[in-house]
Amino acid sequence: MATQTFLYCSLLAITIFYVSSSAAHHKNLTIKLIHRDSPHSPLYNPHHTVSDRLNAAFLRSISRSRQFTTKTDLQSSLIANGGEYFMTISIGTPPSKVLAIADTGSDLTWIQCKPCQQCYKQNTPLFDKKKSSTYKTASCDSKACHALSETEGGCDESGNTCKYRYSYGDESFSKGDVATETISIDSSDGSPVSFPGTIFGCGYNNGGTFEETGSGIIGLGGGPLSLVSQLGSSIGKKFSYCLSHTASTENGTSVINLGTNSIPSTPSKDSAVLTTPLVEKTPNTYYFLTLEAITVGKTKLPYTAGDGLNGGKSSKATGNIIIDSGTTLTLLESGFYDDFGAAVEESVTGAKRVSDPQGILSHCFRAGGKALGLPEITMHFTDADVKLSPMNAFVKVSEDMVCLSMIPTTEVPIYGNMAQMDFLVGYDLEKKTVSFQSMDCSGNF
């Protein structure tokens, strides 16, 4: 146990650099995602305090957790504004800039299109498909159309046009045509890197709780229609991200990397590369890992999976937790959490247990006259023992109070972004693995 200082760190940012790869046809891109509470975000409110932003992020974590259902109709319970990051891309020829929510829990990218039958208010111009020379609707018998579930897809037989329809858990919705377009990403020198024939949804009937700053959703999930999956061969089926604890400040930087050289491969003298299997489960949109145990200080607790993912079985079932960069908190199965919370409480020194004034976080501590001591927490994934720093596992909610940034859930367990900060987290979709390498994400890109 050691005395620790804290940075406000739950909110981040992600722009794009292009580096040519020695591997033929492979591209390496580094993209900045703009966290919704970053000073660079169009949603940034300078009048909000750190506590205001933290509490809002925690509430979004709880709402977002309800999207991760194992039902086949995976879109039915999505929360429209559940994502934490914005991402800028260009679409069409000539290109039009689009700012949209980057969502690792969604597949099909969709944006509002002109002419709209019904659209929510958007600050930027709607995409006009008639002005693009590369826009093309997908046919009803196309692979893209067949990739949609029965509840998501449809067909306009008169025009042989594939249709999509997404209904979200907060009664938001998007409907429109499935189409292909050229999507471009700006490089560091300002020149775009283009990906022709990318599948997306051109939405002409959209509404609900979507915010005016965003044009739609950019899908970064594991299904075949996500942007990551579609770029698969050109990026070597590999991507990673490095989320900085300091990204809520003006100078903080977090990045997502696409390409063959993006994932951690060579251990440094200070940091090993830890690799765990990526478990294939339904729906394939989500990234499932297996959490076997958690160690608090010197106490190792076997992790048991509950109803959220394994139908009530308490066992070392594979794929018992989803890793998600769009959820701030880590949510652990409620039955396991009782023993886990007790072990944390027993291991904290120099503080007394208090209640979270907002009623969101379960274990909070107020420092007394002595130095605050926090336990080391290790997440034991299959073949990967990931040691968390106090800033990964705890959050400073006021000048003299810290709280455990992990809460119980009866829904699907989620490994959230606070636990992933200052790790290079790499996804190898070909080898079906996720890797972790500890590093200072604010100074490596």
> Three-state DSSP class for 68?
coil
Instruction: Considering the candidates 107, 177, 186, 324, report the single residue annotated as catalytic.
Output: 324
Interacting residues of 24 by C-beta distance below 8 A, sequence separation 6+: none
Strand partners for 122: none
Structure-token pair, residue 284: 């394939």
Q: And the tokens for 271?
A: 């940091």
Tokens linked to 431: 């080898």
Q: How far lies 75's CA from each of 148, 210, 225, in Å?
A: 11, 15, 14
Which residues touch 143 (CB under 8 Å, ≥6 apart)?
none
Distance (Å, whole) CA 185 – CA 320 = 34
172: β partners: none
Is-catalytic flag, 177?
no
Residue at token pair 């969101």: 360
Tell me the CA distances in angstroms from 53 to 9, 84, 122, 301, one per residue in order. Answer: 11, 12, 23, 32
Q: Which strands form 401-404's sheet, in the order they lie side by side?
A: 351-354, 364-367, 401-404, 394-398
**Torsions phi, psi of 250, nearest 5?**
-60, -35
Residue 103 bears catalytic tag? yes
Q: How far apart are CA 92 and CA 215, in angstroms?
A: 14
Q: Give CA–CA dist 279/113, Å, rounded.
A: 36
Residues 258, 235: contact at Cβ < 8 Å?
yes
Do the Cβ atoms of 2 and 373 come closer than 8 Å?
yes
Q: Which two tokens stand for residue 100?
A: 């949209």
- Of the candidates 103, 107, 422, 428, the residue annotated as catalytic is 103
3-state secondary structure of 58: helix
Cis peptide leading into 94, omega within 30 of 0?
yes
Cis before 408? omega within 30: no
So which residues are the catalytic ones? 103, 324
